[in-house]
Structure 1
Amino acid sequence: MQANKHLYLFLFLLVFATVSIAAQENPIVPLPIKAIKDTIRAPLMPVTIANDSISNDSIQIDSTSGKKQLLLGKIKYKAKDYVKLSQKDKKIYLYDEAEIYYQDTELKAGIIIMDYVKNEVYAGRIKDSTGVYSQLPYFKQGDQVVIPDSIRFNFDTQKALIWNSRTEQQAGLGSLGQDAMKVLADITKKENDSVYFLKDGKLTTSKDTVDPDYYIRIRKAKFVPGKKIIAGFSNFYLVDVPTPIALPFAYFPLTTGRTAGLIFPTFGNDPNRGYNLQNGGYYLPINEYVDLSFLGDFFTNGSYGFRMRSDYVKRYRFKGTVNFRFENQIFSQKGFDDFRRTTLYNLQITHSQDPKSSPNSRFSASVNLGSSEYFTNSFNQINVQNTQNNNLSSSISYSKTFPNYPSVNMSLTATHNQNTQTQEINLTLPTLNASMERIFPFAKRDGIKKGLIQNINFQYNLRAENRIATTDSLFLRPGMFDNARIGARHTLPISTNFKVAKYFSVTVGGNYEDVWTFETFRRGLDPDDPESNREVVLDTISGFDRYNRYGISSSIGTTLYGTLNFGEDKKIQALRHVVRPQVGWSYTPSFEQFYDTYENFDGEEVLYSRFEGTLNGAPSLTRGNSMTFSLQNTLEAKVRDKDSTATEPKKISILKNLNFSTSYNFEADSLKLSPISMNGATSLFDNKMSINFAGTLDPYTIDNNGRRINTFNVKNGGSLLRFTTGRFDVSYSLSSAIFGKDKKDPDEAKAVSDEYRAASGGSTDDLFGFGLDNRQSNDRKPEEDIENPLYGNKLPWDLSMRFGMSYNNTNRQNDINRANLMFSGSVELSPRWDVRVSSGYDFINQGFAQTQLGFRRNLKSFDLRFDWVPFGRNENWFFFIGISSSILQDLKWENRSQRLVR
């Protein structure tokens, strides 16, 4: 029975297999079902937890596969709270201080959701227990940084959608460095690495991007980071209040460094010249070394002016500036009696060379020349200090050193000196100076020189110049060379020095001088008509001529020290007095051989030299034989230092110098003793007060006509010496920081302010006024450096004073002919508000000097200034309010009064 069962099972399987084989040979019938591609993709990367990174699979990808790898690098991610993987959503969740890094892309946020199927990430903020959002997303790709509320980014396409984005663009080139433009937008679409599209955006330079004090609202814009923003309708908002300032479209350059562009003018109304546009023009950076700016002024009455400025610099070689200003001024109208036209100009050039670029040669220039009335009559005057300058000077020089022994120094210099009051101009075109180093013929070059013989030395010096004296009206005209004087002077000084009795230093020497000239002058009566001509005829004789002069001199001096000790336990431990007396003698012979005579109308012989009136003058006709006396004094004190850790006492200078000098002329018939000259200087209160004084003391008396006579004053019933002239000057600087605990604060607090004051053209103490140009206000503190406590009792201030007085008693007039006080100061009423003043008073003429008042207010993103000269020739006021950043510095409003035409 059991065998039958197995037989039946075998037959059943055999029949079933035969039927199946027969079925497979039949054709396949297609089903009516449409094939659809599966949209679900497997992850392209294995999931790692927390701080792990994606690692490459060691199994090589099949080369026959045509699928493109989209991710080109590793993705690193981490989070502080948790990292959650959802296989269902195909996403990774990162929470609290989440971070993702992929190639040059960096993303940080409170929460990040990464879809590893779509290769997208979403980042946003998180809310704390109090309902406050924190951990804003930080998105950085390359050099571009965006801080939005949320962001959606695709790794494959590099596109992104950004909500409430905030980014910062460095642009411009201000005096304190590059400024930053903040770009804010409700929605930003990142098209690629270089193009963004903005919707409902804001542009501002305010530090506060959450609640900016001003911004430019743009509806739609194309944003190219680091280059430009091109916007549609844009208008200016001030504290979220729209203003009428609007444009149908706008272009905002964001390039860093120097870029070409327009300089917007300011509008005004001059009562003398009509409506005007001033300070408008164009800026052009020619290349990386040179730039050029052109500014112009135009008035409706026809007056105009222009200014060209070029700055150039080549690192480690040279740098300089060329500044030319010209004005064509028209007064009144044609046909009126008071109509006139004047032209003014000014040229300023500075050039300096880096000493390392050429150690043996140097070229430098400092030029300031032009019309004498330019700074006083210019209609575009911005620096009040320049109106107080009565002198314009220039110097252009080239120097060369030949280092081989004996070394020779040579320089070629052209100078210019112009008095703007008298309009006199003195030029040297050029001056040649050459000198050979000192030679010791009786001593080894590198050895120590001892004694009379070894210290014998000599030099050679040459000075040749072409000097021109002219006036402002003849400058740069053919007549300016009519009074030119050309000459040269060769000098050969010889000297030696040695010790006598160990403590006395003796110097003996002589000087030989050879003077050359290329024209001389002959004097006399006109031989053709001696009766009618009472004037001396001056004939110019052209041609080379020369004379020589020489002399000898000697001096002996020593140094005496005196110390008075009080003890180391005293506050003043010691006084030290140093005295340096010196006696000298000099002798020069008479040079009658260079003198001639002529007979005047009265038949008297007049002695003269043909070299009188030449560049270097004539040699002396009288013999010189005189003795000089001088006495130098210094006085110092050693005091105990207030610092208990100091190991040495502190040295204080009581008298920096106190000098006396006089001379005695052996050849004079009378009044052989010259007046005694005295000068001295000292400083007090830790060098805050500087005192300088000088005077003359005359041993001779005067007669009833005020003339000195050969009678000593003491024999005439007076004092031993008669005080004839005197001068006293004192300057004092004070500030609130002096009375504080930190004594270094005054210098640190004034460092930036002094730089601004010097740049505006005046002295650092503002005693002669301060600048009226808003472009010079670079001394504002950075916003983060301003301390603004809720309750503050600090009122920083500084004060500089200078008092000068002169005394004259040469004719017993007992007269103080000069007494004036100059002062300037500033008070910081609040951390962002300060007031400053500059003025002076003349006690002799009983009047105020030029007075100037200034008010400045730091309005965070804005600067507000008002400067006022209330009276005087330069009576003027200036008001300015504008954006501090150089990017939008043309968004401003300024107005200034015009000085009256005098």
Structure 2
Amino acid sequence: MAFQKPSHTFTKIHLKALHTNNFKILFALSFTVFINTLSFAQDIPKKGKTIKQSVRDSVVVSTDSLLVPEISEKSQDSTLTDSVPPKKDLLENIVIYHAEDYTKFNQKKQKLYLYNQAKIDYGDMNITSGSIVIDYTKNTVYAKGITDSIEGYTQKPVFTQGNNVVEPDSIIFNTETKKALIFNSKTEQGEGTVIAQITKKENDSVYFLRNAKYTTAVDLEDPEYYIKLRKAKIVPGKKIVTGLANLFIYDVPTPIGVPFAFFPQSETQTSGLIIPSFGEQNDRGFFLQNGGYYFAISDYIDLAAIGDYYTNGSYGLRLESTYAKRYRFRGNLGFRYENIINSERGFPDYSRSTIYNLRWSHSQDAKANPNSRFSASVNLGSSTYYRSSVNQVNTGAFLNNTLSSSVSYSKSFQGEPQVNFSLTATHSQNTNTEVINMTLPTFQGSVGRMYPFASKTGSKKGIIQNINLQYNIRGENRIQTTDSLFFKKEMFDDAKTGFQHTIPLSTNFKLFKYFSLSASTNFNEVWTFKTIKESYDIAERKTIKETINGFDSFRTYNFSSSLGTTIYGMFNFEKEGKDPKIKAIRHVIRPSISYNINPAFDRYYENAEVINADGLTEGERDVILSNTDLEYTRFQELAVGGSPSNNFSSSVGFSLSNNFEAKVRDKDSTATEPKKVILLNNLNFSTSYNIAGDSLNWSPVRVSGGTQLFDNKLSLNFGATLDPYALDNNNRKINQFNIDNGGSLFRLTSANATASWSLSSKNGDSKEKDKNLEENLRSGGRADDLFGVSEDFANQQINNDDDDKEKPPSDHYNYKIPWNLRLAYAVNYSNSRRQNEISSHSLMFSGDIELSPKWSIGASSGYDLKNAGFTYTQLRFERDLLSWRMNFSWVPFSTRSSWNFFIGIKSSILKDLKYEKRRQPDITL
């Protein structure tokens, strides 16, 4: 661009006398029009479209009362028809400038001076600075800061053009060529910043630099690291290309460098290579791990294909995808496959195995569709995967013996009554027995509760108006298989399919004002497509089962009722003239009694057919059969609904629930009400009496309770089972009360107690656990770190500490050391057959200490009090090095002893600038 001089140029205008001859005027105008129509300039243009006039005179003056304008000399210039196009205006856009102190124009030097908070806007270009000088003769703009005796050099220039922002010490910009020289600039490029002594702006899209620094550090005045670029070219938003470059740490050069480098810069995610890490691992030799390619499929989904290779022939493949759509859904999908070889072929310890794991997590935003929902949580694969994988430390997962999955879709149809249905596929896998149970799928439907006798308005009163019924249906296709048959057609051979229909009918009402009575009956119908037929081989003395394909069904029903009330008791300790600390204790008692009838459905039972009785006398045959139970039902081992019972049951149940609360004086003197404290959250007693039983009518008394203390930091739960019947000399239960056998009223047959305590300093629990706990959950482990935390070596650079920028980098010591400690205690006692032993007794603990805002240590361990030994132990050390992250984890003993050290840059663009060393556990397949 160019700036126009403030002087004005006016077109010459011929002024005529007011009194003249009109005829002469008309003749002169006619002659002028004739000459301009038929005459040409010296340069005769070629035939074609003429160039229209682009410059008009700024002043028009009337010459007489007819208002006929005088034609200016400029408009009569014959060069207007020249084939050479006219020059552009000096200023293509409007210039807007402003300054706080003064705006001064020097007419002699043709310079415009702006001082203090100066600002210029021209098109997409903007310059803000302390001082700006515009030189009209050279078409240049000089911008620099202001030197203050107190604050020093302030108001440094900020040059903005489009999306590019440059913050130099000073700048020279040519408005005509649009080139610039930028001194000591700081330019954000993607996640990093380029600091250059001299930058030449060639045009809007190319910058050349000399002696520049590229860093992702927060403190740009004294970056803890940078990559020095001797000569570089920047294409903003696309790339940085440089020659010789090497790493500097606190201005100290390192031998880590490259002869040339390419830094991709993009405001959107882009596809690219993932650089592998290398090292040596146990007896598998050297390796390349976590190398592959990243696919930026769209703004909503990506895919990373990663592989590992070991020189002994082992390899691994991994696919990871994350997807999300705002206000709709989000999730991640991962598949891992590893071919693991131990030792070398020909050696006795040689082994080879393949393991895999599939994980999928999907969640739907509640706003997406209030009437339907889809969710998934899948974790399935080889039972030995978490014990054998060589590319991650699955601390929290290998101690877990169960893998589980669930994929479900549910939908509701609003109305009266409301109709709901859901489809669910489930998976449960025991990693010890390698048994897999699946439902593919489970269908559930229900029709909402209906009150056929209730009025449409007002509340429901009485036994009749509260009568309600529902309809529920459940269908399952249940499969049980093993690891070896998983995903093979044989896994479907023993699949069981069935449906269960239930119609509960119930009512409730008040009795004698203080009692609540409820009664219900339930009708149950089960459909199945497979039944069994049993026969007894008397010679082999075993039962033979035969599967019968075909539709069959059975129907059952039962009746139950319950009567309960609530009793409130208050113990006041307040006395006139005294202010005790404990003001009152409140006791809430909820007793209830229930009655249940379950008829016997003998019609669904029959005796097994006796076969292969040849060679036996009738007496021998009767002796064998007298000691054999031949009665069975063809509905055994169904998919849903269980099998009908052939035992009549009529029982009365008793339960007593207690709750204790206290009102204490609040420590806050301004509080007007006493503080409520829970003493016992619950204390429950329950038992039952079987009226139809011929012996052992009383069930054991079950006692359970729990409470929370110290502002809910300590959670206590306990339970016990008390049996009223005695044992004989063979430790078998007999139909005689224990007190009548010379013992106490009850025998303590089992007891358990658990306690969990979370302690921390006032600010020690503010830091959220890192991403490794999320890896624990995805792998099927615990949500806490009592069993340690998992480490995925492929994602070491993930960083979610958003508070780093808020902490000053000079904090090296924390005089108030934040800490947290988690304790979990469990004990189980068994005495059902006079063994009188502690079956299990353990204490688990984990904790973290933040020695400084940038340095923390942690540990997870436990102690088996019964076997007198430490359980799985993990020690963790982590150091936040501002732009870098360093951690060390160590399992000091056990068969899975291992350690891992990592240091690397947090920024994703330089995540491959790292160093890691580890010793993985010796895995036996």
TM-score by length of 1: 0.88
Residues 120 and 154 in structure 1, CA contact (< 8 A), matched pair in contact too: yes
In structure 1, what is the equivalent of residue 64 of structure 2?
none
> Structure 1: how far apart are the matches of 2:529 and 2:698?
38
> 1:772 aligned to 2:779?
no
Listed as ranges, the gaps of 5+ residues in structure 2 are 9-55, 61-71, 81-85, 614-620
> Structure 1: how far apart are the matches of 2:299 and 2:154?
45
In structure 2, what is the equivalent of residue 610 of structure 1?
634
> Structure 2: how far apart are the matches of 1:565 and 1:686?
23
> Structure 1: how far apart are the matches of 2:100 and 2:474?
82
1:364 to 363, 368, 375: 375
Q: For the structure 1 residues 624 and 580, does the alpha-carbon distance in structure 2 shift closer, same or farther, using more than 3 Å as the test? A: same
> 1:717 aligned to 2:736?
no
> Structure 2: how far apart are the matches of 1:788 and 1:767?
33
> Structure 1: how far apart are the matches of 2:99 and 2:500?
86
In structure 1, what is the equivalent of residue 420 of structure 2?
409
In structure 2, what is the equivalent of residue 799 of structure 1?
821
In structure 2, what is the equivalent of residue 646 of structure 1?
671
In structure 1, what is the equivalent of residue 173 of structure 2?
153
In structure 2, what is the equivalent of residue 456 of structure 1?
467
2:886 partner letter: L
CA shift, 1:310, in A, is: 1.6
> Structure 2: how far apart are the matches of 1:213 and 1:736?
31
2:715 partner letter: S
Residues 122 and 153 in structure 1, CA contact (< 8 A), matched pair in contact too: yes
> 1:849 aligned to 2:871?
yes
In structure 2, what is the equivalent of residue 860 of structure 1?
882
In structure 2, what is the equivalent of residue 564 of structure 1?
571
2:269 to 252, 258, 263: 258
In structure 2, what is the equivalent of residue 289 of structure 1?
300
Residues 197 and 223 in structure 1, CA contact (< 8 A), matched pair in contact too: yes
Bigger drift between 282-291 and 104-113 goes to 104-113
Bigger drift between 672-681 and 190-199 goes to 190-199
Residues 392 and 418 in structure 1, CA contact (< 8 A), matched pair in contact too: yes
In structure 2, what is the equivalent of residue 224 of structure 1?
235
Residue-by-residue CA offset, 1:575-627 (whole Å, 9 max, x unaligned): 21111110001112221111112465632363222222333443111110100
Residues 303 and 328 in structure 1, CA contact (< 8 A), matched pair in contact too: yes
> Structure 1: how far apart are the matches of 2:420 and 2:847?
46
Residues 71 and 156 in structure 1, CA contact (< 8 A), matched pair in contact too: no
> Structure 2: how far apart are the matches of 1:42 and 1:514?
95
Bigger drift between 84-93 and 377-386 goes to 84-93
CA shift, 1:288, in A, is: 2.0
2:591 to 578, 581, 600: 581
The count of aligned residue pairs is 831
In structure 2, what is the equivalent of residue 31 of structure 1?
none
Residue-by-residue CA offset, 1:876-901 (whole Å, 9 max, x unaligned): 11111111112211111111112213
CA shift, 1:777, in A, is: 4.3
1:115 to 118, 128, 135: 135
Listed as ranges, the gaps of 5+ residues in structure 1 are 1-39, 47-56, 172-179, 738-744
In structure 1, what is the equivalent of residue 12 of structure 2?
none
Q: For the structure 1 residues 41 and 146, does the alpha-carbon distance in structure 2 shift closer, same or farther, using more than 3 Å as the test? A: closer
> Structure 2: how far apart are the matches of 1:60 and 1:772?
80
1:151 partner letter: I
1:819 to 810, 825, 841: 841
CA shift, 1:392, in A, is: 0.5
> Structure 2: how far apart are the matches of 1:545 and 1:451?
40
> Structure 2: how far apart are the matches of 1:351 and 1:775?
24
> Structure 1: how far apart are the matches of 2:107 and 2:119?
21
Bigger drift between 100-109 and 442-451 goes to 100-109
TM-score by length of 2: 0.86
Q: Counterparts in 2 of 1:464-613, with a 5 A limit?
A: 464-525=475-536, 532-567=539-574, 569-598=579-608, 602-603=621-622, 604=625, 606-613=630-637
> Structure 1: how far apart are the matches of 2:774 and 2:352?
34
Residues 862 and 883 in structure 1, CA contact (< 8 A), matched pair in contact too: yes
CA shift, 1:313, in A, is: 2.0
Partner of 1:296: helix, strand, or coil? strand
The structure 1 segments of at least 4 consecutive aligned residues displaced by more than 6 Å after TM superposition are none
> Structure 2: how far apart are the matches of 1:757 and 1:271?
27
Q: For the structure 1 residues 135 and 777, does the alpha-carbon distance in structure 2 shift closer, same or farther, using more than 3 Å as the test? A: closer
Q: For the structure 1 residues 392 and 198, does the alpha-carbon distance in structure 2 shift closer, same or farther, using more than 3 Å as the test? A: same
> 1:86 aligned to 2:106?
yes
1:636 partner letter: E
> Structure 2: how far apart are the matches of 1:883 and 1:377?
29
In structure 1, what is the equivalent of residue 618 of structure 2?
none
Residues 395 and 790 in structure 2, CA contact (< 8 A), matched pair in contact too: yes
Bigger drift between 293-302 and 117-126 goes to 117-126
CA shift, 1:218, in A, is: 1.3
> Structure 2: how far apart are the matches of 1:158 and 1:759?
52
> Structure 2: how far apart are the matches of 1:244 and 1:789?
30
1:181 to 192, 195, 215: 192
Residue-by-residue CA offset, 1:614-650 (whole Å, 9 max, x unaligned): 3344311111010000111111122233333333332
> Structure 2: how far apart are the matches of 1:58 and 1:783?
60
Bigger drift between 104-113 and 221-230 goes to 104-113
In structure 1, what is the equivalent of residue 439 of structure 2?
428
Q: Counterparts in 2 of 1:693-704, with a 5 A limit?
A: 693-704=718-729
Q: For the structure 1 residues 110 and 862, does the alpha-carbon distance in structure 2 shift closer, same or farther, using more than 3 Å as the test? A: same
Residues 525 and 535 in structure 1, CA contact (< 8 A), matched pair in contact too: yes
Q: For the structure 1 residues 789 and 374, does the alpha-carbon distance in structure 2 shift closer, same or farther, using more than 3 Å as the test? A: closer
Partner of 2:568: helix, strand, or coil? strand
CA shift, 1:852, in A, is: 0.7
Bigger drift between 610-619 and 672-681 goes to 610-619
2:133 partner letter: I
Partner of 1:272: helix, strand, or coil? helix
In structure 1, what is the equivalent of residue 5 of structure 2?
43
CA shift, 1:785, in A, is: 2.4
CA shift, 1:564, in A, is: 1.9
> 1:883 aligned to 2:905?
yes
CA shift, 1:518, in A, is: 1.7
In structure 1, what is the equivalent of residue 851 of structure 2?
829
Residues 756 and 776 in structure 1, CA contact (< 8 A), matched pair in contact too: no
Bigger drift between 633-642 and 507-516 goes to 633-642
In structure 1, what is the equivalent of residue 918 of structure 2?
896
Q: For the structure 1 residues 249 and 760, does the alpha-carbon distance in structure 2 shift closer, same or farther, using more than 3 Å as the test? A: farther
Partner of 2:542: helix, strand, or coil? coil
Residue-by-residue CA offset, 1:770-812 (whole Å, 9 max, x unaligned): 2324234423631332575577521111111111111112223
In structure 1, what is the equivalent of residue 706 of structure 2?
681
1:703 partner letter: D
Q: For the structure 1 residues 230 and 718, does the alpha-carbon distance in structure 2 shift closer, same or farther, using more than 3 Å as the test? A: same
CA shift, 1:563, in A, is: 1.4
> Structure 2: how far apart are the matches of 1:479 and 1:41?
85
CA shift, 1:850, in A, is: 1.2
CA shift, 1:401, in A, is: 2.2
> 1:69 aligned to 2:94?
no
Q: Counterparts in 2 of 1:84-483, with a 5 A limit?
A: 84-129=104-149, 132-169=152-189, 171=190, 180-483=191-494
> Structure 1: how far apart are the matches of 2:340 and 2:833?
49
Partner of 1:375: helix, strand, or coil? helix
Residue-by-residue CA offset, 1:85-121 (whole Å, 9 max, x unaligned): 4333222344454443434433233433221332312
Residue-by-residue CA offset, 1:811-837 (whole Å, 9 max, x unaligned): 233211111111111111122111111
Residues 334 and 358 in structure 2, CA contact (< 8 A), matched pair in contact too: yes
Q: For the structure 1 residues 882 and 202, does the alpha-carbon distance in structure 2 shift closer, same or farther, using more than 3 Å as the test? A: same
Q: For the structure 1 residues 157 and 570, does the alpha-carbon distance in structure 2 shift closer, same or farther, using more than 3 Å as the test? A: farther
Residues 759 and 776 in structure 1, CA contact (< 8 A), matched pair in contact too: no
Partner of 1:191: helix, strand, or coil? strand
Residues 3 and 91 in structure 2, CA contact (< 8 A), matched pair in contact too: no
